[in-house]
């Protein structure tokens, strides 16, 4: 039976095993060992939204695992316009061993997975970003030596990245606070699910509106762009609304002295984060970007390597 990774919840039974596998695979190339577990396998990468990190990390990751990746841009497919979602899913399933889809809509993501006979991996949609979450927590684990019991604070827009982090933190026993304006909270269903999971894992999931209150005692501070692709018309209004949520040195003073700063990139210095923070000693954003590849390699092996 095929395994899709559409949500972090699709890794609920082996999320920490996937992170441990990513750690191992990150170390092995530096020892000169050859990884060919996906030799002969092909990943079809369907993009509705462009991305430096998603494309290169998946393509290089597949190459390192002995497989190949094929890029399919928006002009070549136009899912749901030039061709129906089901037709695209059925055709690609005849050519490739798995599909990575970077989409505008979670609904379209799930429709593609429904009709595809090969695994579908969510490279981002409007509800979740599970591969980014895996990379984020891999980075925290590297820098802090553990996950359980740590305090992660997300500041800004309760978007797809925030939604996936809520689930990832809950599954690993981390505590998470999401500080957002009242009309930009994370998805209510995902928040409720994360809080339910956290109770059984000894963690705590909270939402607040005051970023200074939220950041107190933080081990990890995380932010993301205030204006995602597709929201350009709201740019001016969003920037004004979110300005009190900028992660800068004044805000970060409330965190633990050894906090680390995460951002999924691309970043906008002077907006969601100040240059002094993202380019400062607490920032690990480029380690985090590298870890997209290692986390995704572990995910690819989890869905294709058996």
List residues with catalytic annotation. 102, 129, 132, 224, 264, 292
Q: Where are the alpha helices (DSSP H) in the chain?
A: 15-27, 52-64, 74-77, 85-95, 106-115, 130-144, 160-171, 188-201, 211-215, 235-242, 249-252, 275-278, 285-304
Tokens found for residue 245: 């949520």
Tokens found for residue 93: 């399933």
Element (H, E) at 222: strand 220-223
CA distance 201 to 198: 5
Tokens found for residue 304: 């294709």
Q: Which of 97, 159, 168 is nearest to 128 (CA)?
A: 159
Whether 31 and 266 have beta carbons less than 8 Å apart is answered as no
């Amino acid at each position: 039976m095929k395994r899709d990774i559409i949500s972090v919840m699709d890794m609920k039974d082996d999320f920490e095993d996937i992170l441990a596998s990513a750690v191992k695979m990150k170390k092995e190339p530096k020892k000169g060992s050859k990884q060919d577990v996906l030799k002969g396998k092909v990943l079809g990468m369907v993009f509705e939204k462009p991305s430096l990190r998603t494309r290169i990390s998946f393509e290089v990751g597949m190459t390192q695992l002995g497989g190949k990746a094929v890029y399919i841009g928006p002009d070549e497919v136009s899912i749901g316009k030039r061709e129906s979602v089901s037709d695209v899913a059925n055709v690609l399933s005849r050519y490739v061993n798995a599909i990575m889809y970077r989409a505008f809509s979670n609904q379209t993501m799930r429709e593609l997975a429904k009709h595809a006979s090969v695994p579908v991996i969510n490279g981002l949609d409007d509800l979740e970003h599970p591969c980014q979450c895996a990379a984020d927590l891999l980075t925290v684990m590297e820098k802090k030596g553990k996950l359980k019991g740590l305090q992660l604070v997300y500041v800004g827009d309760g978007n797809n990245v925030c939604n996936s982090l809520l689930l990832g933190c809950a599954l690993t026993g981390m505590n998470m606070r999401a500080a957002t304006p009242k009309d930009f909270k994370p998805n209510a269903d995902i928040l409720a699910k994360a809080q339910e999971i956290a109770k059984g894992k000894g963690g705590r999931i909270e939402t607040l509106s005051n970023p200074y209150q939220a950041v107190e005692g933080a081990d990890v501070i995380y932010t993301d762009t205030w204006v995602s692709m597709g929201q350009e018309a709201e740019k001016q209004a969003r920037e004004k609304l979110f300005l009190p949520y900028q992660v800068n040195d004044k805000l970060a003073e409330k965190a633990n002295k050894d906090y680390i700063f995460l951002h999924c990139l691309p970043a906008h210095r002077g907006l969601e984060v100040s240059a002094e923070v993202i380019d400062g000693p607490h920032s690990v954003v480029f380690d985090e970007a590298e870890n997209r590849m290692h986390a995704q390699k572990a995910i690819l092996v989890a869905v294709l390597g058996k």
